[in-house]
């Protein structure tokens, strides 16, 4: 999956994409302040003026990275949120459907971490911006963190029979979200401990099932069997 959208001119597109790919890696390794435009241009094999031409400034380049990655993922993310929302709308107090909603959220997050080629580098940038809020915090919070936390809070509240505005439900949602998101940072440790050399569909599925079970137990849904994929209709995320 290309990281950059391609303008009409192929040469311009290739230069732009190379700058984005290179700066994503450098920003993840050294942070925004630890990388200069000269560092980026040298690593990408372009002249310094190319960065200004395509992005205006280093901050403009940094913002573009987030916008492009989030835009590429938007269709999948919106589908995931819609599927989970429909499951919650049907669930009422039915615990099996609530457990399926948990699985849908977990599958979406793990799927991104396991399959997206830039997930680790972008995940580092994402986590850094959320931990040390900077210029991109509002963009990230509005487009990813807030909708995920809102949906997770709805799941928690439904499992507990509480209101979605309950502070305890919102806090629990944040803690559960943090546990799953920590896979971005713990990936090297996970691979070493499990003897893995990367993610495969089978390993991702094991992660999804294990995390889903853990979250369901924490919400008192342990006795509810998550329906097999495809058993709850089109709302279940494949």
- Answer whether 125's CB lies under 8 Å from 115's CB: no
Structural domain contains residue 165: yes
pLDDT score for 238: 31
Range of 148-157, 200-209, 226-235 with top mean pLDDT:
148-157
**Do residues 41 and 115 share a domain?**
no
CATH code for the domain of 88: 1.10.357.10
**Do residues 103 and 153 share a domain?**
yes
pLDDT score for 95: 92
Q: What does the alpha-carbon distance between residue 135 and residue 162 come to, in Å, rounded to a whole number?
A: 35
Phi, psi of 190 (to 5 degrees): -60, -50
Average pLDDT over residues 110-118: 73
- Answer whether 91's CB lies under 8 Å from 227's CB: no
- Answer whether 62's CB lies under 8 Å from 129's CB: no
Structural domain contains residue 224: no
**Do residues 26 and 72 share a domain?**
no
**Do residues 173 and 93 share a domain?**
yes
pLDDT score for 236: 34
For the chain, percent of residues with pLDDT exceeding 90: 64
Structural domain contains residue 81: yes
Element (H, E) at 88: helix 58-91
Q: What pLDDT digit, counting tens, does each position of 47-56 carry? A: 999 999 999 9
Structural domain contains residue 223: no
**Do residues 17 and 75 share a domain?**
no
**Do residues 75 and 105 share a domain?**
yes
CA atoms within 13 A on the CB side of 10: 0
Q: Report DSSP letters for 2-40, one per residue.
A: -SS---SSHHHHHHHHHHHHHHHHHHHHH-STT--HHHH
- Answer whether 198's CB lies under 8 Å from 156's CB: no
Structural domain contains residue 235: no
Structural domain contains residue 203: yes
Q: What pLDDT digit, counting tens, does each position of 2-42 carry? A: 555 554 466 788 999 999 999 999 999 999 999 999 999 99
- Answer whether 116's CB lies under 8 Å from 3's CB: no
CATH code for the domain of 26: 1.10.10.60
Q: What pLDDT digit, counting tens, does each position of 169-200 carry? A: 999 999 998 888 788 778 889 889 999 988 88
Structural domain contains residue 117: yes
**Do residues 52 and 128 share a domain?**
no
Q: What pLDDT digit, counting tens, does each position of 63-93 carry? A: 999 999 999 989 999 999 999 999 999 998 8
pLDDT score for 119: 65
**Do residues 99 and 41 share a domain?**
no
Domain boundary residue among 56, 76, 93?
56
**Do residues 169 and 115 share a domain?**
yes
Q: Report DSSP letters for 114-137, one per residue.
A: HH-TTHHHHHHHHHHHHHS--TTH
List the one residue out of 221, 216, 220, 187 whose CA is nearest residue 204.
Answer: 187
**Do residues 79 and 134 share a domain?**
yes
pLDDT score for 216: 95
**Do residues 34 and 81 share a domain?**
no
**Into how many domains does the chain fold?**
2
**Do residues 138 and 169 share a domain?**
yes
Structural domain contains residue 131: yes
Token pair of 222 as six digits: 């342990």
Element (H, E) at 57: none
Residues of the domain holding 213: 65-218
Q: What angle do CA 180, 169, 94 make, to 5 degrees?
A: 85
Q: What does the alpha-carbon distance between residue 140 and residue 76 come to, in Å, rounded to a whole number?
A: 16
For the chain, percent of residues with pLDDT exceeding 70: 87
């Amino acid at each position: 999956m290309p990281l950059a959208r391609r303008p009409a001119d192929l040469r311009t597109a290739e230069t732009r994409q190379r700058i984005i790919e290179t700066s994503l890696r450098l920003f993840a390794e050294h942070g925004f302040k630890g990388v200069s435009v000269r560092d980026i241009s040298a690593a990408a094999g372009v002249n310094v003026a190319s960065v200004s031409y395509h992005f205006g400034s280093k901050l403009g380049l940094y913002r573009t990275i987030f916008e492009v990655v989030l835009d590429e993922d938007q269709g999948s993310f919106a589908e995931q949120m819609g599927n989970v929302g429909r499951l919650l709308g049907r669930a009422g107090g039915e615990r099996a459907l609530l457990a399926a909603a948990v699985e849908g959220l977990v599958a979406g997050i793990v799927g991104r971490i396991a399959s997206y080629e830039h997930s680790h580098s972008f995940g580092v940038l994402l986590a850094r911006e959320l931990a040390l809020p900077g210029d991109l915090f509002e963009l990230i919070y509005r487009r990813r963190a807030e909708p995920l936390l809102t949906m997770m809070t709805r799941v928690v509240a439904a499992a507990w029979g509480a209101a979605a505005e309950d502070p305890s439900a919102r806090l629990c949602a944040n803690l559960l979200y943090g546990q799953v998101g920590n896979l971005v940072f713990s990936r090297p440790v996970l691979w070493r401990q499990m003897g893995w050399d990367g993610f495969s569909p089978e390993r991702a599925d094991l992660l999804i099932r294990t995390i889903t079970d853990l979250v369901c137990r924490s919400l008192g849904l342990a006795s509810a069997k998550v329906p097999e994929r495809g058993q709850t209709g089109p709302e279940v995320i494949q």
